[in-house]
Amino acid sequence: MTGRVVIVGGGLAGATAAEALRDRGFEGEIVILGVEEHLPYERPPLSKSVLLGAKEAGTATVHDAAWWTEHDVDVRTGVEVQSIDLGGRRVVTNAGEESYDWLVLATGSEPRPLRLADEAGRPVHYLRTIEDSLALKEALGPGTKVAIIGAGWIGLEVASAARAAGAEVTVHESAELPLLAVLGPEVAQHFADLHRDHGVDLRLGVAVTAEDLADADLVVVGIGAAPRTDLAAAAGLDVDNGVLVDELLRTSDPHVVAIGDIANEAHPVLGRRVRVEHWDNAIGQGKAAAATIVGAAEPYDKLPYFFTDQYDLGMEYFGHTGPDGYDRVITRGDFSGPFRAWWVKDDRVVAAMQANDWDASDEMRASIGQPPPAG
């Protein structure tokens, strides 16, 4: 329960790992190295409450400075880790070197760039940091013409916030429906209807062109994120769509764990590798990494979970359809009110969601792996 743990990454996953280590009685040194000039913070509010102006950016902080001091966690902001020496168990930063007994990689992901947008001659916004969120919020206003590229979670949440600000919104998506790869056509259609009902010009099944962006006051790119694995790969860790880890989140080096967006885990329940870029996964894997470091050996077996807020819709999704897909979808209710859906494969629920039906959350989570509801 002693030694020195260095955590590379100042986001929610790394912060949770540090907190969980103290909760488990770890008495050694804990150092968090974050490249941003902020204390560790959560990212979901950046496309939700902070972007809407419902909350200040400071409310996204995991803990205040006093908490980190009281728990003897050395949080260093504005520190860039430049390389990792696995043999010497040290990291090299722009401020010097740090030795470790355990290294936690929580470097997160970054928005995928789109050259077409960057060269369109319009102000372009990506959404990842507090600064990104505040800059976009400042740019949104009544009559502002916003072109959003990508109808994934970020694109749709930005569309919702932009409409709330009175902006004119056009969303360009190459798939036939928003969120099609995640939800399938049966449920994705409901999200298309939701945004069109709120005045969004939703252009689906099309490739965006420079001409499409010519009249926009600003462009928002939301075409997914890429895991930040350059450090891990350069150090010689096994990398393939993320850093490869086992069920205890251990990498190919016995003194290094990887968590959060970058962790491509051999999931003990799903029976395949999965990499998840969501808030709940960052928390769960942070706790599991702490268990591994203190020798508790608790496999990370939580199923993927995510949530979204768009207009007056709140939704939670549990499970994972995976590469094998699903046979059918069972739905209950109306999407404008309490709504439930179950994705079924081989007569077992592989994923479930509720929309505006918060009393159903526990029931929907528990349905994963069970026979589907009758009817």
Angle of CA points 233, 234, 236, to nearest 5°? 65
> Are residue 196 and residue 122 in the same domain, yes or no?
yes
> Are residue 71 and residue 206 in the same domain, yes or no?
no
Within a 13 Å sphere around the CA of 303, how many CA atoms are in the beta-carbon half? 20
How many CB atoms lie under 10 A from the CB of residue 173?
A: 25
pLDDT at 64: 96
pLDDT at 67: 97
pLDDT at 155: 97
> C-alpha 88: how far from its chain's center?
32
Contacts of 255 (CB under 8 A, 6+ apart): 86, 89, 100, 101, 102, 103
Any domain includes 301: no
Predicted TM-score (pTM) of the model is: 0.94
* CA–CA dist 179, 333 (Å, integer): 20
Number of domains in the chain: 3
Residue 312 one-letter amino acid: D
* CA–CA dist 328, 342 (Å, integer): 8
Which is nearest to 14 in space by CA: 26, 31, 38? 31
How many CB atoms lie under 10 A from the CB of residue 308?
A: 21
* Domain assignment of residue 256, given as a range: 4-110+225-293
CATH number at residue 327: 3.30.390.30
Domain boundary residue, one of 203, 221, 239: 221
* CA–CA dist 149, 251 (Å, integer): 35
For 361, counting Cβ atoms within 10 Å of its Cβ (0-12 exposed, 13-18 middle, 19+ buried), the class is middle
Any domain includes 101: yes
> Are residue 81 and residue 229 in the same domain, yes or no?
yes
Any domain includes 192: yes
> Are residue 326 and residue 263 in the same domain, yes or no?
no
> Are residue 261 and residue 349 in the same domain, yes or no?
no
pLDDT at 375: 62
> Are residue 318 and residue 288 in the same domain, yes or no?
no
Residue 36 one-letter amino acid: E
Any domain includes 303: no
For 198, counting Cβ atoms within 10 Å of its Cβ (0-12 exposed, 13-18 middle, 19+ buried), the class is middle
pLDDT in tens, the chain (375 residues): 789 999 999 999 999 999 999 999 999 999 999 999 999 999 999 999 999 999 999 999 999 999 999 999 999 999 999 999 999 999 999 999 999 999 999 999 999 999 999 999 999 999 999 999 999 999 999 999 999 999 999 999 999 999 999 999 999 999 999 999 889 999 999 999 999 999 999 999 999 999 999 999 999 999 999 999 999 999 999 999 999 999 999 999 999 999 999 999 999 998 899 999 999 999 999 999 999 999 998 999 999 999 999 999 999 999 989 888 999 999 999 887 899 999 999 999 999 999 999 999 999 999 999 999 986
> Are residue 197 and residue 230 in the same domain, yes or no?
no
Domain boundary residue, one of 181, 204, 221: 221
- Token pair, residue 298, equals 């608790």
> Are residue 82 and residue 98 in the same domain, yes or no?
yes
> Are residue 106 and residue 231 in the same domain, yes or no?
yes
